[in-house]
Amino acid sequence: MKHTLFYLTLILLISFGYTRLYAEGTKQLRPTSGSYGYIQINDADRTFATYAASPEERLHIHVSSVKEKIYFGFGKIWNTENLSSHKVATDVYYRIKNEKGIVVSGPALIPSSGQGFIDTYTKVVNGPTKINPAGYNALVYTPVDTGDFYIEFNQGSGSVSSAPSGKRRVFEMFDITVIDETVPASPVVKNGRVWSKNWDINTNAASNPFTGTLFVYSNDGVVTSVGFNGMQPYAFTISCNSTGCVNTGNPDSDRKSRAGNATYPSYKIFLNDPDHKVYPSGVIGTLNTSLTLTGCAPHYCINLNTDAPGFVDFVVELNGIPGYQPNSRDLIFGMEVNTGTTCIPWDGRDGKGNLIDQNLNFEIQAEYKFGLTNLPMFDVENFNNGFKVASVRPLVIVPKLFWDDSELGGTTNLTGCTATGGCHPWPSSNFGDQRTINTWWYVNVQRDTIYTVSIPKPSPVINGLSQICDTSVLQSYATNEVPGNSYVWSIKRGTITGSATGHQVSVRSAAGRDTLIVKESNPVGCFEDTIFLFTYPTPDPAMSGDMSACDINTVDVYSVDPVPMNSYSWVVTGGVILSGEAASIMQVKWTQTGKQTVTVTERNPNNCSDTDSREVTVHPKPSTGIIQH
């Protein structure tokens, strides 16, 4: 009860603008002056908040009104090329871009004194002097439009992007505060405006704990706070998504912890509870109707209707054992859904990749999850305490935390943890070294089940030619006829002549590639078969070249117009082919006089062929008599 009341109190303070919550930046990453948690750039090959950052790695600042201004400042920038002794660097530039990617402020060198420089922890947590005299003298950008601005940093140049490997820069302190100055005499701080999808943090040593708290805003509008509770990662990134380490569509495997770096950013992560007006709470969704199964294999739809976005897991129970068993015939898959009716596609195959047997009774289970959040953490060596996660809005609860470290020899918790001291501590020293350890949670779930669904298995197989030489000739296709079943034929580009509803059909295909489909149905279901038709016109070679040659040893050339993908074969009598026996151009040397023949056969990819043969007269060399005078 005390735990729940603590989070409720925190939410109320944020919601009603607690007057000391001025700053956004170091204040949240380092709750005390002795805490560790610094943003960094250029660590290894990562590009967080740099000129080269991808959209997922940018450091955003949202502005809702042109009456709002961005106040910001920085402490020392540490040079960590030599990890044994941090030195102050003065080679980092910044610039601000609007959401169109246009530079609107800077580039300029980050100050090491004067305006924009923060020299004490007390000043950074008090924010700009604009709203707190005990704060720091901030740099100011006054927007002329609204939207998601983002600040970028670059080492060594204000204009030329550079990302020198192994030369990271660590920010001792930073602050970014959005202030509404609609009433200049009464400025209003707008917290919950600074976010990234992939924060890059450094604790300055492997043994230093990270005790910051961040706020995750899921794609369906759920805000959860994540307390990192003494994690010992040294340098690491923080990102969240709906599936886990990867997104293959298989929730059981996607969410398992694994060796190597397997993270991807999808959700916005804030330093404070996101501004409620800009980032409203989602609606706690419900399943409006029961699940239904429609369509034909391999194009089934599992249909559900929801009144809000969320994530749905499906388990198709096929092995006769209650619950999902990995590496069995059971099938598991999932996807995000939006408001309204969603078709979840299923090809009618089981977990082994085999089509479902005809008349097999089984069940499909669905879990509609609200606020599903995965937190995959890479290369966090040690974590003795576990995460402290709380749902901030729209529900105020402490959600159950789940994990599956079985592939790494660790523990698994699929029933959920709500321990007040933290959930999912690493089981041993250096357990997270060069590994991705995933934790997930959700704030609400609804379940529904289709029982004893009988899947029919008509199995049409189209018989007929797939390689066709003449588009003008009707081709016949058929599938085995099953009494009582119905058939519907369709073709993508060609035409069907006569009936398209029997077990056989007459087709005139289009030139090139075409697709013929038959759907066979019985009273409780259907199945489709497809055949691809490849139609190329029969070749019509027309030979050119001299039909009269002078004497033996004469060399003549014969050719036909080349057609892509067609092949050629030449045969001659009374001569020797010198070159081009398998090409569209052939060279022959005559060895005999008299009536000879030149023949070419042209063949297309469907093995359709035609021949052109010509008679060539090879004349003997005239004899010259003695000239009488």
* Candidate CATH numbers 2.60.40.10, 3.40.109.10, 3.40.50.300, 3.40.50.1100; the one for domain 458-535: 2.60.40.10
The first and second tokens of residue 523, run together, are: 């009273």
Helix, coil or strand: residue 384: coil
The first and second tokens of residue 93, run together, are: 């530039």
| pTM listed for this prediction | 0.71
| HEC letters along 291-317 | CEEEEEECEEEEEEEECCCEEEEEEEE
Q: What is the pLDDT of residues 508-534, one digit of tens each?
A: 888 888 899 988 887 666 777 888 888
168 with 77: CB under 8 angstroms?
no
Give the pLDDT mean for 410-418.
95
Q: What is the pLDDT of residues 51-81, one digit of tens each?
A: 999 999 999 999 999 999 999 999 999 987 6
User: How many Å apart are CA 247 and CA 481, to the nearest integer?
Assistant: 42
Run of H or E residues at 3 = helix 2-15
7 — pLDDT class (breaks 50, 70, 90): very low
The first and second tokens of residue 551, run together, are: 């004497």
- Identical fold, 458-535 and 548-619: yes
User: How many Å apart are CA 32 and CA 28, to the nearest integer?
Assistant: 9
User: How many Å apart are CA 616 and CA 629, to the nearest integer?
Assistant: 39
Output the pLDDT for position 10: 38
Output the pLDDT for position 405: 97
* Candidate CATH numbers 3.40.50.300, 3.40.1160.10, 3.30.70.20, 2.60.40.1080; the one for domain 548-619: 2.60.40.1080
Q: Which positions ≥6 away from 407 have C-beta within 8 Å?
A: 256, 257, 258, 259
Give the pLDDT mean for 217-234.
96
**Whole-number average pLDDT of the chain:** 88
User: How many Å apart are CA 521 and CA 528, to the nearest integer?
Assistant: 9
Output the pLDDT for position 297: 67
Strands 87-89 and 77-79: antiparallel
629 — pLDDT class (breaks 50, 70, 90): low
Domain extents for the chain?
Answer: 2-279+372-416+428-445, 458-535, 548-619
- Determine which of 163-172, 215-224, 381-390, 534-543 has the lowest per-residue pLDDT on average: 163-172
